[in-house]
Structure 1
Amino acid sequence: MLIEDGELAIAAAEAGAAVVRAKYGASLARVDKSGGDFATAADIEAERAIIAVLRDARPDDAVTGEESGRTGSDGAERRWLVDPLCGTLNYAVRNMLVAVNVALRTRVGVTVAASADPFAAEVFWTDGTGAYVRRDGVDEKLTPTAESRLVDVNLDPPFPNDPAFRAVRLLADRGFVARFRPRVVSTTLAVAWVAAGRRAAYVTDGQLRDSVHFAGGIALCEAAGCVVTGLRGEPLHTGVGGLVVAADRETHDALLALIGSQFAAEPARQ
């Protein structure tokens, strides 16, 4: 029996999450990457487990893995985007704030996605129409809300819009701290939390097209009804890039105004 794409994404993410849980707390070898980044044995083994599930069910699909790179045709109509352990540094220092991300990109965009929290035993997922969280085999629809006022800000490089915009400057902006409560969890699990109503918003710089880190979370938020744009309010992957995802329009507009003040002030600093 052919498994549906949404269920396949969940199964693949759960396979990766099982590896992440099993290796937590162990002394793990590190593989150095560029820019001071690194992977652990857990990243590599979790990615293998995820890809094995995908290959078994969809042998002709292409895959882009955070650790193994691109396989399959560059022009493939179906490509899985795999981030086996988002929050590697958190994990390496025995912090449980991590995610396992799996998304399917087709010619019409990201159609299904799953973001698993290995330690809360939750999988946030979308089939492209609705957004849900699965616990113990039971699905609950995700409902965004800005009630918490918690906004996650990604402070990790790269910063392609520096010096015009740096997310860290939001934390010192009086308008930001008067309205929101900043958080920095250093994993894209926080993007799924916006869809789930556990965060009011999320902000990051960067070029995110086909990003193994962000594709799944963005798809979840769009399916849940969040407001999702680039840093200047443009459609995603246009203009200056970046990501602002908010639970509602009011929160989104407030963040765009704060971000816009940085861009507007930049000529005066040069």
Structure 2
Amino acid sequence: MDLDHARAVAVEAAEAAGALLLEGTRGALGVRAKGDAGDVVTDLDLASEKLLLERILTAYPSHSVIAEESGVVEGAGGEWTWLVDPLDGTNNVAIGLPAYVVGVALCRAGRPVLGVVHDPVSARTLSAIRGRGTLSCPAGASSGVRLAPSYEPRPHGPLVAWTQGYAVARDDATGRVLRSALELGARRVLQLWAPLLAWAMLARGAIDGIVGYRAEVVDLPAGALLALEAGIEIRALDGGPFEEGIDGTAEDRSFVAAHPRALPELLALLR
């Protein structure tokens, strides 16, 4: 498997989907309800996903794909699985807030080896191959800069993002306690409605950490790999080891991610 070629396929697909989204947000969106938790889906989600699936499966017809809207698209080979989030931030787009990204990941035996997040608004793409760092490139460029964010403690606590899975109820006791702890101890808590955008911000050093509770499987691997390859550390909520793969339950997808120097303070807040 040529991961450089896979990255090129993923980047080109994500940027093409991003161009589609950027143009589409200027017109009527076709918003409708999705599920019972207040989530929505738009025509843009479906059009972007169609483009991404066509590009990926044309290049890798034997691979499996897990897509945000289509679910599991089975391929002939079980070793390689793509994860596709065609519009991470749909609720933002639906209210006219330009905060959304396109995410693609490739997993081998359930473990991410490639992650791509494209931001159509800033026209930048972050990509990572396991063991080879995270690159930030202008859209359409073949080269960029390797990310290695520095860290300086903030005077009133860390700046963190919060993300949770769609199935987490409003009265979920654990989620309520975690959010309360962050609100009391952090300088600011961002709830972006776009987890992959938060991961990109963390990989760039724009925020100090992310706390995730029962995160969605389609979002986690791409963002986590970008952060890890930029030098970010990820732990379980109790400070123990964390596996960023696609196997396991929703409870296994609860985590704290931060710059290594910020991690002890963030874990202390949650205790």
Q: Same fold (TM over 0.5)?
A: yes
Normalised by the length of structure 2, the TM-score is 0.85
User: Is residue 7 of structure 1 aligned with residue 8 of structure 2?
Assistant: yes
Q: Match for residue 145 of structure 1?
A: 150
AA at the equivalent of 1:118: P
Cα 1:70/1:156, change in 2 over 3 Å: closer
Alpha-carbon deviations, 1:179-223, whole Å to 9, x = none? x33222221211111111111111110055xx1122110011111
SS in 1 for 2:66: strand
Distance across 2 between alignment mates of 1:242 and 1:29: 33
Cα 1:71/1:240, change in 2 over 3 Å: closer
SS in 2 for 1:70: strand
Unaligned runs of 5+ in 2: none
RMSD of Structure 2 on Structure 1 (CA): 2.3
Cα 1:84/1:254, change in 2 over 3 Å: same
Cα drift, residue 80 of structure 1: 0.5
Q: Percent identity?
A: 27
Cα drift, residue 157 of structure 1: 4.5
AA at the equivalent of 1:247: H
C-alpha contact 2:63 2:76 (8 A) present in aligned 1 = no
Distance across 2 between alignment mates of 1:65 and 1:157: 15
1:222 aligned to which of 214, 228, 240: 228
User: Is residue 243 of structure 1 aligned with residue 248 of structure 2?
Assistant: no
Cα drift, residue 162 of structure 1: 3.5
C-alpha contact 1:65 1:82 (8 A) present in aligned 2 = yes
SS in 1 for 2:174: coil
Count of residue pairs the alignment pairs up: 252
Normalised by the length of structure 1, the TM-score is 0.85
C-alpha contact 1:155 1:168 (8 A) present in aligned 2 = no
Cα 1:142/1:33, change in 2 over 3 Å: same
Distance across 2 between alignment mates of 1:99 and 1:39: 15
AA at the equivalent of 1:139: G
Cα drift, residue 26 of structure 1: 1.7
Deviating more after overlay: 156-165 vs 143-152: 156-165
Cα drift, residue 247 of structure 1: 1.6
2:188 aligned to which of 157, 181, 193: 181
Alpha-carbon deviations, 1:150-174, whole Å to 9, x = none? 211226644389423434213432x
Cα 1:115/1:240, change in 2 over 3 Å: closer
AA at the equivalent of 1:185: L
Distance across 1 between alignment mates of 2:77 and 2:62: 12
Unaligned runs of 5+ in 1: 261-270
2:134 aligned to which of 127, 131, 136: 131
What pairs with 1:161-240 in structure 2 (closer than 5 Å)? 162-166=172-176, 167-173=178-184, 176-177=185-186, 180-188=187-195, 189-208=197-216, 211-237=217-243
User: Is residue 67 of structure 1 aligned with residue 55 of structure 2?
Assistant: no
SS in 2 for 1:198: coil
Cα 1:219/1:49, change in 2 over 3 Å: same
SS in 1 for 2:237: coil
